[in-house]
Amino acid sequence: MQTAGNYDRAAATLSVACIAHCLALPLLASVLPFVAAVAEAEWVHWLLSALAIAASATVIARAEGGRTTGFMVPGLIGIVFLVGALFAEPLGAEETLPTVIGGALLAAAHIRRLFSTA
């Protein structure tokens, strides 16, 4: 089903974007200070996470094979990490590690599902 594949590609891309935002933007901001505003903007964290979670929820709800254990377990754990990262900083914890773990798990789940249904 091509549409499901597109949702998987979008969700995997958004998950990788979360990882890139956490790892690459701070490095880029150290070289280009005007990028720091985007790197530290809290709304960017919320937007990327919301889009990645929404794309994943669409796959779960609509795609054939979207509710398999091989997809659901790493996908849901990834979502928990991404949501946890959103609340890490206000609670005084570091947000980078849970974002990277969550994004990687979510992207891996979508990529695995994408190749298993191809």
**For position 118, what pLDDT does the model report?**
61
Per-position DSSP letters for 17-35, written without gaps between them: HHHHHHHHHHHHHHHSGGG
Print the domain residue range for 67.
2-116
Q: Tell me how far apart the alpha carbons of residues 32 and 103 are, in angstroms, rounded to a whole number.
A: 25
CB 88 within 8 A of CB 98: yes
Q: Domain count of the chain?
A: 1
pTM confidence score: 0.82
CB 105 within 8 A of CB 75: yes
**For position 78, what pLDDT does the model report?**
94
Q: Tell me how far apart the alpha carbons of residues 81 and 105 are, in angstroms, rounded to a whole number.
A: 9
pLDDT in tens, the chain (118 residues): 467 678 888 888 988 888 888 888 778 878 877 777 777 778 888 988 898 888 888 888 887 766 788 888 999 999 999 999 989 888 888 888 999 999 999 999 989 888 886 6
Q: What are phi and psi of 66, to 5 degrees?
A: -80, -10
